[in-house]
C-alpha cells in the first residue's frame, strides 16, 4: 500500500482539509536513521507535519521545519516539497524516554524550545521565516500555534504515530483543517465538535481508515469536494553529483590533502543516511579537471 495525501474543500464553505497516511515513509525514516521508539514518533509526526504543510505549496516551493529543544532529542529537521516528497532527521536517533501513562512522551524528549518554519516560495525573493516558541512539544499543537500566530490562519493539526512492540511503525498520519476567509462560525463550530470527538489519528489509521475517510470524519455534516489525491514518499535530494560539487568547492589543496591522508573521500547524507564514496581515482580526475579550468582573473 502506498502512502497518500488527499486535499479537500467544503463545497459551499471556505474550510479546507488535508489528510495523509504516512505509515510507510515514517517506517522508511526509522530504518534509515535507526531511530528508537520515542525518536521514531517525534520524527514521524514532524515528517507528517512536513507533508501536510508541503500540500499547501505549489510548483517548486519547499517547506523546512526545524524543532530545537533542550531535551535529549535536541533537534528535528524536516524538508518537504509540493510533490509529496519529504526527508528528515533527528539529532539523537537513539533517544528513548520512559512511557507516561502507557504513552510515548515526545514533549519530554524535545523539551522547551522553538519551532521554525522556512518557506521557499517561488513568487518571493526571500524565504518566509516564522519562529514560535514550542507550546506543547508534542508537535501537532506547535504546528497549530505556528499556523494561527505566524500565518494568521485559524487551523487545527493532528498527527499520530503508532509503534509496534518490535519498534516498527504500524500506523502514521495526520490531518490539517483550516478556516479560510468567509468561513462561517457555525461551520467552524461543526468541525471543532467533530475533531473533539475523533479518536487519535494513529488509531483511525490502525483501524484501516485512509485520508479520505479521515477527511470525511473531520468534515462530517459539511458537503465536501475532493480536490486531489497524491502519492507521498520519503525522498532525499542528495546525489553523488552534489557530493562532487561540495568537493570542488573545498578546493584543490583540500582534495590533495584528503587524497594523501585518506586515499578516498567518504560522505554520509544527514537527511537520509545514504553513504557516498569518491574514490582516489575520481579525486585525481577531479584535481585534473580543476587544474585544467581557466584561472579566474584577479578582481
Asked whether the beta carbons of 237 and 87 are under 8 A apart, the reply is: yes
Least distance in angstroms from the C-beta of 237 to Zn ion: 7
Q: Phi/psi class of residue 263: alpha, beta or left (left: φ > 0; alpha: ψ in -120 to 50)?
A: left
User: Considering only residues 153, 198, 238, 248, which one is a binding residue for Zn ion as defined by CB under 5 A?
Assistant: 238
Least distance in angstroms from the C-beta of 238 to Zn ion: 3
Give the alpha-carbon dihedral of 195, 53, 68, 118, to 10 degrees.
-150
Element (H, E) at 8: strand 4-10
In terms of DSSP bridges, do strands 155-163 and 169-179 run parallel, antiparallel, or are they unpaired? antiparallel
Asked whether the beta carbons of 78 and 85 are under 8 A apart, the reply is: no
Residues belonging to the chain? 299
Least distance in angstroms from the C-beta of 90 to Zn ion: 15
Instruction: Choose between 191 and 269: whose C-beta lies nearer to Zn ion.
Output: 269
Instruction: Choose between 141 and 273: whose C-beta lies nearer to Zn ion.
Output: 273
- Kindly state the cell numbers that stand for 89: 532527521
Sites for Zn ion among residues 259-298 (CB under 5 A)? 269, 271-272, 274
Least distance in angstroms from the C-beta of 268 to Zn ion: 9
User: Considering only residues 82, 153, 236, 248, which one is a binding residue for Zn ion as defined by CB under 5 A?
Assistant: 236
Give the whole-angstrom CA distance, residue 42 versus residue 33. Answer: 13
Instruction: Choose between 151 and 270: whose C-beta lies nearer to Zn ion.
Output: 270
Please choose, from the candidates 79, 87, 80, 71, the residue with its C-alpha nearest in 3D space to the C-alpha of residue 137. Answer: 71
Stretch touching Zn ion by CB under 5 A, among 9-17, 54-62, 108-116, 229-237: 229-237
Instruction: Choose between 170 and 236: whose C-beta lies nearer to Zn ion.
Output: 236
Stretch touching Zn ion by CB under 5 A, among 1-9, 40-48, 234-242, 244-252: 234-242
Stretch touching Zn ion by CB under 5 A, among 3-11, 20-28, 201-209, 231-239: 231-239
Residue 21 phi/psi, 5-degree rounding, is: -105, 125
Least distance in angstroms from the C-beta of 236 to Zn ion: 3
Tell me the CB-side half-sphere exposure of residue 141, using CA atoms within 13 A.
Answer: 8
Least distance in angstroms from the C-beta of 271 to Zn ion: 4
148 binds Zn ion (CB under 5 A): no
Instruction: Choose between 225 and 242: whose C-beta lies nearer to Zn ion.
Output: 242
Least distance in angstroms from the C-beta of 32 to Zn ion: 9
Cross-strand pairs, 174: 20, 159
Least distance in angstroms from the C-beta of 83 to Zn ion: 16
Asked whether the beta carbons of 98 and 107 are under 8 A apart, the reply is: no
Give the whole-angstrom CA distance, residue 211 versus residue 23. Answer: 12
Give the whole-angstrom CA distance, residue 52 versus residue 297. Answer: 48
Instruction: Choose between 33 and 119: whose C-beta lies nearer to Zn ion.
Output: 33
Instruction: Choose between 20 and 272: whose C-beta lies nearer to Zn ion.
Output: 272
Instruction: Choose between 44 and 211: whose C-beta lies nearer to Zn ion.
Output: 44
Residue identified by cell 585525481 is 284
Q: Which residues bind Zn ion (CB under 5 A)?
A: 236, 238, 269, 271-272, 274
Amino acid at each position: 500500500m502506498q502512502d497518500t495525501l488527499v486535499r479537500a474543500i467544503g463545497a459551499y464553505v471556505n474550510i479546507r482539509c488535508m489528510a495523509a497516511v504516512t505509515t510507510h515513509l515514517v517506517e522508511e525514516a526509522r530504518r534509515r536513521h535507526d531511530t528508537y521508539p520515542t525518536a521514531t514518533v517525534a520524527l514521524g509526526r514532524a515528517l507528517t507535519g512536513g507533508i501536510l504543510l508541503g500540500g499547501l505549496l505549489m510548483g517548486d516551493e519547499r517547506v523546512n521545519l526545524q524543532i530545537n529543544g533542550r531535551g535529549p532529542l535536541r533537534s528535528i529537521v524536516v524538508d518537504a516539497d509540493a510533490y509529496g516528497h519529504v526527508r528528515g532527521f533527528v539529532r539523537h536517533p537513539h533517544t528513548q524516554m520512559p512511557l507516561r501513562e502507557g504513552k510515548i512522551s515526545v514533549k519530554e524528549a524535545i523539551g522547551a524550545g522553538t519551532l521554525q518554519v522556512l518557506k521557499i516560495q517561488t513568487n518571493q525573493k526571500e524565504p518566509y521565516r516564522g519562529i514560535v516558541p514550542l507550546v506543547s512539544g508534542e508537535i501537532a499543537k506547535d504546528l497549530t500555534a505556528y499556523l494561527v500566530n505566524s500565518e494568521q490562519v485559524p487551523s487545527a493539526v493532528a498527527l499520530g504515530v503508532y509503534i509496534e512492540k518490535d519498534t516498527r511503525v504500524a500506523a502514521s498520519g495526520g490531518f490539517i483543517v483550516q478556516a479560510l476567509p468567509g468561513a462561517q462560525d457555525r461551520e467552524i463550530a461543526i468541525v471543532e465538535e467533530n475533531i473533539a470527538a475523533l479518536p487519535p489519528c494513529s488509531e483511525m489509521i490502525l483501524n484501516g481508515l485512509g485520508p479520505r475517510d479521515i477527511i470525511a470524519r473531520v468534515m462530517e455534516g459539511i458537503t465536501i469536494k475532493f480536490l486531489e489525491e497524491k502519492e507521498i514518499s520519503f525522498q532525499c535530494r542528495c546525489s553523488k553529483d552534489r557530493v562532487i560539487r561540495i568537493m570542488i568547492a573545498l578546493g584543490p589543496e583540500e582534495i590533495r590533502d584528503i587524497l594523501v591522508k585518506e586515499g578516498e573521500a567518504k560522505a554520509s547524507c544527514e537527511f537520509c543516511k545514504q553513504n557516498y564514496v569518491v574514490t582516489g581515482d575520481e579525486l585525481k580526475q577531479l584535481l585534473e579537471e580543476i587544474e585544467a579550468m581557466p584561472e579566474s582573473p584577479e578582481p
